Every structure is written in C-alpha cells, then in structure tokens.
Amino acid sequence: MPRALRIYVWLVSAAGLIAVAAAARWGNLEGLSRASHAVLADLAFFLVMGCLLDMMIVPMARGGAVSAGFAVFYACMLILGPYLAAFVAVLATLWTDVVIRRGIPFYKTLFNVGHSAISLLLAGATYYVLLDGQIANVRFTSVTDVARILGSAAVLFGSEITVVNLAVALERKAPLRSVWLGNAKLVMPLDAALAGVGMLVALLYEHRQTLFGGYGSLFVACVILLPTGLLFYGSRLYMDMYRVYDKTLRTLSALMEAKVHGGEGEAVGHGDRVARLASAAAEEMGLSTDEVQAIQYAGYLHDVGKVGVPAQALDNGRTLTDEQLSRLKQHAEIGYEILRPIAFLSRVATLVRYHDRRFDEGPYSADHEAIPFGSRLLAVAERYDNLTVSGPVQLGPEEAMRRLVEEAGSLLDPKGVHAFVRMLARESVVDAVRCDEALHAI
C-alpha cells in the first residue's frame, strides 16, 4: 500500500473512532439509559434496517462502492439525531464487513466505520446546528425546511463521495479530480435516489401510526426494502455491464492480436498495456471522464485494423517493400472503418484513425480534420510499449523515457510526452528527479 494511502486510512479511521467516542460521551445516549422503550424500539428498527440495507453494495465503475445503508443512516439522523445515527452506521458497517462479507482486511473495516461516522456527524451538524433543525420533525412546509433537508443530504453524500474517492485516488495513484468526476456521474444520481429513500423512510417512520396502525415499523421495513432492492438490482446490472464490456473489448483485442501475430511473442498484451498507459496519462492531464474512457477503449482497439494487413507486412524481422509499408500504414484507417458503425465508439474510432500519425505531420489530417489529442497520447503510449516490451530491443523505463523526450516534437507531441512522463513518475516507474531533469529538456 502506498504510504500516503496508509496515512490517510489511519487518519480517517482515527477521526471516525474519536467521533464515535464523542457520540458515546455527549450524544443523547443518556436517553437510552433512562430506558425509554420508544427510543430503544426506534434504535432497534434503524439498526435492523441499517444492517439489511448495508448489505446491498453497488461497486462503482472507477473503484469504490456505494452502500444502500446510507439511506437508513440518513433517516436515522433525521429521526434520532446524528450521534445515534453514527452509532447505527458503525454497528451496521461492522456487521456487513465482519459477519457478511468476511475476509475484509481490518484496516478497511476501520476506514469504512470512520468515514461513515464522520459523514453522518457533518450532516448532523448541518441539519441541527447550522440550520437549526429539530429531532424527529421532518417537514417540507417552508423554504428553510427544504434547505435543511436537502443541505444535510448534500453534506452527507458529498463528504462520503469525497472521502472514499480520495482513498481510491491514492490507491490507484490517479488524480483525485478524475476519479471523483468519473464516479460522480454515476454515483450522484444513485446518491440522490438513496437520499430520497432516506427521506421517505423518515417520513413513513414518523407517520407509521396513521399509515399502518399497530405494526407500523414492520410495514415501513417491508416497504423500504422494495425500492432499495430495485435500486440495488438495477444499479448492479448497470455497473456489471460496464465491467463486462471492458472485458469483452480486452478479449476481442487479444483475439485480434492472436490472429495477427499468431498468439506468440511480446506483441501479446500490447493493446492492454497501451490502454492502461494512455488512459493513465489522460487522467494525469485531467481530461474529462468520457475522454479518458474513450482513450482506454481506443487503446484496446488501436491495432484492430491489422486484421486487414497481410501477415508478411507485420513481420518485424524483415525489411518491408514499399507496398507492404503502405498496407501497414493503412491499418489505422481500416481500424476506423471497422469501428465506425458502432455509434457508441464513434469517438474511439476517430482516436484509432489518427493514432499512427507523426506529430510533425501537422495538426490536420488529409481531409482537414483536427488530430485529437487522445490520438497523440495513444502514440506516446504505443511508442513507450514498443521501446520497453514489444519492440525488437527492450529498454529500461528511464532509457525509454529519455527516448520519448528526444522524440518529442518530431515523432511525438511534446504535451503528450510531458503528461506521460509525469504519469510514469507518479506511478514510481521512473525516479521523480530523473523525470524533472527529462522534462526540462522538452
């Protein structure tokens, strides 16, 4: 584990534990010791619901996961206050991590406990202190009411997303911004829905007598499992599909490589490596999530057109005739033709089309289309993979980095090389000092 991540995880865990200790000390736990049956029943309700919903976990496309438990924790925060909510969240998290999911490293559980507690206390501070709310009194009658509810939900889920994504970013050594934005597009609607479920739980729970009579809490419990179950199921399908798609592209690209190169030698895995390197460099530059994803897919598929190039032209050992060379040059264009019919991959098709262009051939293609920057990044990543793994001679990373820097401005885009080299340093592939020296040369 990187050091920064380790420090961060311990920090969050410690803060969470302190928060829980504070909750035990100053929270309205005395209310409990007075054995008020009502509070105990409330607590039992939220605890059971929290444990049930916390088991529903939706893994996110760019790392991390969202748990449906937050809907219940949020409702509990509205009905019983932040301290008891944090208490419920801690117990529910322990339950899922230790009893249900098992085998989760202890520090991860501590981290999960910590960030849930912190987020809930922050949301509670917003609701009760900042905006002057009252316990168990959820209303939507005035503007302040609405602001209080929406504001505290925003704080809860906002802090939750940020704390978790920071850990993901540190773990993957990727910039926080790109991880955050990449996940937020999918997480925000999900969180909004969970916040909605949370408000619903609170409202139904408050009015359970009027609505359901005697066994009110039981009905509310059944009622809530439904929408969250549906939510969970839909999201799971969706996120899984992204994973499946990614795997399919990799399988097909491996298949193409096998067909073209006979499944042997260093060419195998080239698509995978270029995809990873180019998209990491794109994240380093803070490109938009969609662009990063397009670059990743284009990395898998950039050599797809080689299925249309006769085998002799691809054989590195021999010198190529002019005709063979021109066929090889066409592979980018053929790849573009193959991918063009897939509307979803239209951006990817363009990136593939120009991944083979030299930087000094100018910023426009023959038909006056601007060469996208993503293609330039792919070219750098491909060059690096050729130098280090799949070419005739294998260089070490630092030697390869120096070559990239030399070729910046002629073969490669200096901006792309710059980002790529910074990415190498961030991932500790090359030494940071060497990286700085190299960058000065551009």
| Residues at the site binding another protein, with contacts judged by CB under 8 A | 140, 189-190, 192-197, 199-200, 203-204, 207, 210-213, 219, 223, 226-231, 234-235, 237-238, 241-242, 244-245, 247-249, 251-252, 255-256, 258-259, 262-263, 304, 307-308, 310, 338-339, 341-345
CB of 322 to another protein, least distance (A): 15
Residue nearer to another protein on the CB measure, 158 or 414? 158
Q: Which residue has the tokens 């503007």?
A: 143
DSSP codes joined into one string, 290-311: HHHHHHHHHHHHTTGGGGGS-H
Three-point CA angle 115, 121, 125, nearest 5°: 145
Cβ-based neighbour number of residue 258 at 10 Å: 13
CB of 309 to another protein, least distance (A): 8
Residue nearer to another protein on the CB measure, 231 or 274? 231
Residue nearer to another protein on the CB measure, 274 or 348? 348
Residues 6 or more apart from 234 whose CB is under 8 A from it?
Answer: none
CB of 259 to another protein, least distance (A): 4
CB of 220 to another protein, least distance (A): 10
Helix, coil or strand: residue 82: helix
Closest to 178 measured CA to CA, from 282, 268, 263? 282
Residue nearer to another protein on the CB measure, 348 or 417? 348
Residue nearer to another protein on the CB measure, 37 or 344? 344
Residue nearer to another protein on the CB measure, 169 or 334? 334
The token duo for 26 is 């100053």
Closest to 381 measured CA to CA, from 266, 284, 305, 273? 273
CB of 316 to another protein, least distance (A): 17
Closest to 327 measured CA to CA, from 310, 345, 302? 310
Residue nearer to another protein on the CB measure, 226 or 433? 226
CB of 12 to another protein, least distance (A): 27
Cβ-based neighbour number of residue 269 at 10 Å: 15
Measured distance CA(392)–CA(229) in Å, rounded: 54
DSSP codes joined into one string, 168-190: HHHHHT--HHHHHHHHHHHHHHH
Residue nearer to another protein on the CB measure, 76 or 203? 203
DSSP codes joined into one string, 233-299: HHHHHHHHHHHHHHHHHHHHHHHHHHHHHTT-STTTTHHHHHHHHHHHHHHHTT--HHHHHHHHHHH
CB 238 within 8 A of CB 190: no
Residue nearer to another protein on the CB measure, 104 or 342? 342
CB 124 within 8 A of CB 85: yes
CB of 32 to another protein, least distance (A): 29
Closest to 67 measured CA to CA, from 53, 57, 52? 57
CB of 304 to another protein, least distance (A): 7
* DSSP letter assigned to residue 65: E
CB-count burial class (<10 Å; 0-12, 13-18, 19+) for 308: middle
CB of 268 to another protein, least distance (A): 11
Cβ-based neighbour number of residue 379 at 10 Å: 26
Residue nearer to another protein on the CB measure, 339 or 378? 339
CB of 174 to another protein, least distance (A): 23
